[in-house]
Amino acid sequence: MNYGPILFLGIFLSFALSWAGMVFLPQKQLGHQELAKPFDAEALYPTPHSGLAEQGRQVYRAEGCAACHTQQVRPQDVPQYGLRFTVAQDYLRDEPVQFGSLRLGPDLANIGARMPDAKWHLLHLYNPRITIEKSLMPQYKYLFEKRKIRGERSANALDLPKGFEVEEGFEVVPTDRADSLVAYMKSLRSDASLFESPLPTVPETDDTNAAPASAEAATPTNTNSPEK
Amino acid sequence: MKSDAKKSVRNDESEPKASQTAAPVFIFVVLALLLYWGALHIDQYGGGFRKEVYAPFKSVKEVAKLHPKKSGDDVFERGEKIYALACAGCHQPSGLGSPGVAPPVAGSEWVLTPGPGRALLIAYNGLTGPITVKGTEWNLAMLAMGQQLGLSDEDLAAVLTYIRGNAAWGNNASAVTVEQVKAHRPTMDSRTQPWTAEELLKIPETE
Amino acid sequence: MMRSSSSPNQPASGAAGDRDPAFPTVEKIDASCRGALMFLFTAALLWLALSSLFAVLGSVKMHAAGMLANVDWLTYGRVRPAAVDMFLYGFLSQAGIAAAIWILCRLGKVALVSGVTLIVGAVFWNLGVLLGVFGIFTGQSTGYEWFEFPQYAVAVLFVAYLIMGIVGLLTFAYRNERHTYVSQWFILAAFFIFPWLLSTAGLLLLVSPVRGATQAAIAYWFANGFLLLWLMPLALGIIFYMVPKVSNQLLNNHYLAVISFWSWLLTAGWSGIPVGARLPAWMPSVSTVASVLLLVPAVAMFINWRATWIKSPAKQEGGVAFKFISFAAFAFILWALAFAANFLPPVAQVVEFTLFGLAIAQLATYGVVAMAIFGAIYFIVPRIAGTEWIFGRVKGHFLFSVAGLVLIVFAWGVGGILQGTSWNNPLSDFMKSVRVAVPFIGIGTIGFLLLLIAHLLFLSNLVSVIRRCCTACCGSGKEARK
């Protein structure tokens, strides 16, 4: 190993090996995934999000919500966070994918299904302690605008409960950033029944009792099932 | 201290070298054993390198099996059928219940007791009045499902086995035997009213 | 005092005292490094102090929800990544490169090929880090952990790295001493792999992003490679150099080092995908195996170091540096065990997504890499600057660093286990898991405060060294800087 080029070659080969295994192979396997046809719906999954929700995803990224929140439902998380565990298919349209690695707050992969109420989300973002006692989540007051009421109170002003009101004559309205973030929260749901991760009960069609032995026969319409 | 460091600054010409001792053999043995274990691990949990297989599944076959359920006389599968028929309407296929309809059975402390007694009595004779499940208070009423449908001891054992041990919900309590159900038969048959949470709490968890 | 020239343990041929007259003297070598390395070390230490300031703020913000809620650039989700990236890129990478290049010079018995080029690279590097941190604070973070810097900053960093990396590689290529030592292998591997990591992640995540979950796979691969194939090899290179150097011994076993090096390199790149990651089962299970296999080189290296320093009655020589180095060695073996455990499914079942993961990362980046680099800086600077440290402050730095690190790792480790236990209890609601963690987050904050004190001591010490160096040898100091 006193010969530089040979040392170099060894380093190159051993790293290239892991590159092939952990970058190239995943890309080959998952990089060309198609939209899937779920068992329980006609629309291809994942369905596209609204433009507002897509903007909200960028707010989520910029504010670093992923520093405290995961978007990964593991099998053991199913009772708390969703109907089924999430799989690569669920993230197909995400850019960037916000897996997260620390769960200081709850998982959000399915928050749209768990908490579809926009008002709740806005209050929670403005000051999480309004909705959750002793919440540790940071307040996102800067996503809101406190302004003087001119004439009528704005329709979208927050209804702040007792103890959290602002001064008389002022109101708090969400900025575009807050609105889009909430639209994003509502768009987060992973509840289509997929081949890799079906919902607990699969609709029983009459002719499936034939008990097919192979995967492809079992899922004739699922584009996500193993290649034929 | 100071002079020490100065010293080392001065005696600085020699650079580290390694002594050419033979490598201990044990390291190869350990490496070989771990490689062997690694191969086994990937074989068992690697899902055959298929993109459709996620833990806890181990092969595409296993995933596919989930799909159209084969009819079998497996206790668990029988329990699933009964659950879908008798309980899922209120407690949801997910076991998570639904506000205003029924509390969750997934992760419920009433289901995950060491013994099946309390949940068994609820399933057979029904339940009424306030009950706290996973920190939330409910005040609804559940019909005497078991009694009305005339579920047999075997049926009850199966459905309880299913809700207690349903890993997809995160439940992992022990299976229920027909004998355990039989032991409660007298109580179940003599009861004409739905139970209340208060009464049930008097029954030991282990029963 | 005479030990090094008369020690019976010295190799029979080609070492101590019998320097080839054609090779430059150590004084010459050190002088060639002076300007560039002092620049790199000083800049790195400034980033270190800044990052620990933001780390304190971040840790406070973890439990003070209402604090500074109106200032968007100081929100937790920006402060924390900014602090981490300043530490990883501003301090660890920069000081690591500097220490590594010095080791390459010393082991190759060759003067630094071009100090000026190195400084140019370093200027760009600091510009890149500055831009990146600015990007995070202004909401342009990429959202990938350890890779939050926006595209333009990554581009600058890449160019800056190429300049510095080439200086390193040329220094190795032009070495006078053809015989190579294990430190050089590790450093070379790191220097070669780092641009590959950075460019792969930059291209596949930022320039033309891959689809969906593949991004996550690549982000995991990058963060893992950044730790195991960039920072760790630099630290291992330093430890392998310092242990025999300071104890004035031959490294215990050459072949064991060879095996450790190659097995590390072959396995490290496969790790990094957490057990519960939402990727097909084969990826986490391959990572589990790789992480456990890493124990072999880790234990082998530790045995090798220990067997080397235990023989030496002289380990007080260069003592302060050795304290940091031996701490790094112990932290390394502890980390390797925790790291492997973390990838075992039954353990991950409890600790995944908890503070425990942060504790392990802190142990690796601070306990191993930063500690090794501290040791190296304490060893190198007196040699290249010709001025001694103020020893009281070094001692203080060591004590505060160790105390702070132990507090953080303990608090997050235990807090994480409690969090995970609470989640796995179906009867417990989420807020309970938050409540059990809060006191431990508080202890962590104290730990970060101690680290801040340690780093300020370190910085003030360096400033005093530089001041004395400049006044003492004004002429020669300036000359070397030109």
Q: Give the B window 157-176 contacts with C, CB below 8 Å.
A: 170-171
Question: Which of C81, C221, C355 is the closest to A64 by Cβ?
Answer: C81
8 Å CB contact of C78 and A127: no
Contacts of C25 in chain B (CB under 8 A): 13
Contacts of A204 in chain B (CB under 8 A): 68-69
* CA pair distance C276, C347, nearest whole angstrom: 11
Report pLDDT for C275. 93
Q: How many separate domains does chain A show?
A: 1
Task: Give the C-alpha distances (Å, rounded to integers) separating C408 from A19, C440, C472.
Answer: 33, 9, 40
- Residue that wins the pLDDT comparison between C245 and A225: C245
pLDDT tens per residue, range A152-195: 888 888 888 888 888 888 999 999 999 999 999 999 988 888 88
Question: Which of B56, B84, B96 is the closest to A75 by Cβ?
Answer: B56
Chains that touch A (3 or more CB pairs under 8 A): B, C
Report pLDDT for C313. 62
For residue C10, give the H/E element and its range: none
Report pLDDT for C473. 67
Q: What is the average pLDDT value for chain B, to the nearest integer?
A: 83
8 Å CB contact of A200 and B106: no
8 Å CB contact of C218 and A26: yes
Is residue A69 assigned to a domain? yes
* CA pair distance C332, C280, nearest whole angstrom: 31
B130 touches chain C (CB under 8 A): no
Query: Would you kindly state where each structural domain of chain C is located, as residue ranges?
Result: 22-179
CATH number at residue A106: 1.10.760.10
3-state secondary structure of A118: helix
Report pLDDT for A220. 35
Share of chain A above pLDDT 70, in %: 86
Q: Within 13 Å and on the Cβ side, how many CA atoms surround C420?
A: 21
**Is the N-terminal amide bond of B114 cis, ω within 30° of 0?**
no
Core vs surface per residue C296-319: b (16+ CB within 10 A) or e: bbbbbbbbbbbbbbebbebbbbbb
Core vs surface per residue B111-142: b (16+ CB within 10 A) or e: bbbebbbbbbbbbbbbbeeebebbeeebeeeb
Using the structure block, give the residue that is written with the tokens 């953080």: C408
Q: Give the C window 378-417 contacts with A, CB below 8 Å.
A: none
Is residue A46 assigned to a domain? yes
Question: Which of C106, C281, C391 is the closest to B2 by Cβ?
Answer: C391
Residue C441 tokens, joined = 């987050």
The edge-to-edge listing of strands for the beta sheet with B195-196 is B136-142, B127-133, B195-196
Which residue of C211, C254, C429 is the best one to mutate when testing the A interface, meaning the one whose CB has the most A CBs within 10 A?
Answer: C211
Contacts of A144 in chain C (CB under 8 A): none
Distance in angstroms between the alpha carbons of the first and the last residue of chain A: 48
A206 Cα to chain C: minimum distance (Å): 31
A95 touches chain C (CB under 8 A): yes
Q: How many other CB atoms sit within 10 Å of the CB of residue C188?
A: 22
8 Å CB contact of C269 and A136: no
Core vs surface per residue C211-242: b (16+ CB within 10 A) or e: bbbbbbbbbbbbbbbbbbbbbbbbbbbbbbbb
8 Å CB contact of A196 and B53: yes
CB C76 within 8 A of CB C61: yes
Q: Which residues constitute the domain of residue A113?
A: 34-199
Chains that touch B (3 or more CB pairs under 8 A): A, C
Contact residues for C398 (Cβ-Cβ < 8 A; gap 6+): C320, C323, C324, C327, C454
C286 touches chain B (CB under 8 A): yes
Which residue of A86, A104, A129, A146 is the best one to mutate when testing the C interface, meaning the one whose CB has the most C CBs within 10 A?
Answer: A104
Handedness of CA C252, C364, C87, C447 (dihedral sign): negative
pLDDT tens string, chain C, 482 residues long: the values are: 333 333 334 343 334 445 577 788 888 888 888 889 999 999 999 999 999 999 999 999 888 877 787 888 899 999 999 999 999 999 999 999 999 999 999 999 999 988 899 999 999 999 999 999 999 999 999 999 999 999 999 999 999 999 999 999 999 999 988 889 999 999 999 999 999 999 999 999 999 899 989 999 999 999 999 999 999 999 999 999 999 888 888 888 899 999 999 999 999 999 999 999 999 999 999 999 999 999 999 999 999 999 888 877 655 556 788 889 999 999 999 999 999 999 999 999 999 999 999 999 999 999 999 999 999 999 999 889 888 888 889 999 999 999 999 999 999 999 999 999 999 887 788 888 889 999 999 999 999 999 999 999 999 999 999 988 877 766 554 444 44
Q: How many other CB atoms sit within 10 Å of the CB of residue C482?
A: 7
For residue C463, give the H/E element and its range: helix C430-472
Report pLDDT for C150. 95
Handedness of CA A123, A124, A127, A131 (dihedral sign): positive
B85 touches chain A (CB under 8 A): no
* CA pair distance C351, B111, nearest whole angstrom: 26
8 Å CB contact of C142 and A96: yes
8 Å CB contact of A79 and B107: yes
8 Å CB contact of C211 and A31: yes
- Residue of A165, A22, A133, A100 lying closest to C272 (CA atoms): A22
User: Of B60-74, B193-207, C77-91, C124-138, which range is least confident?
Assistant: B60-74
Report pLDDT for C357. 94
Using the structure block, give the residue that is written with the tokens 């997809």: B168
- Residue that wins the pLDDT comparison between C356 and A219: C356
Report pLDDT for B63. 81
Report pLDDT for A219. 36
* CA pair distance C208, C400, nearest whole angstrom: 44
8 Å CB contact of B58 and C317: no
Helices (H), chain B: 2-10, 26-45, 60-65, 75-86, 88-91, 117-125, 145-149, 153-165, 178-190, 197-202
8 Å CB contact of C70 and A141: yes
Share of chain B above pLDDT 70, in %: 91
B70 Cα to chain A: minimum distance (Å): 6
Residue A78 has pLDDT above 90, yes or no: no
C10 touches chain B (CB under 8 A): yes
Mean pLDDT of B44-67: 83
B153 Cα to chain A: minimum distance (Å): 24
Q: Give the A window 141-160 contacts with C, CB below 8 Å.
A: 141-143
pLDDT tens per residue, range A191-212: 888 888 888 764 444 433 333 3
- Residue of C256, C289, C252 lying closest to C272 (CA atoms): C289
> What residue in A sits closest to B47 (Cα-Cα)?
A196
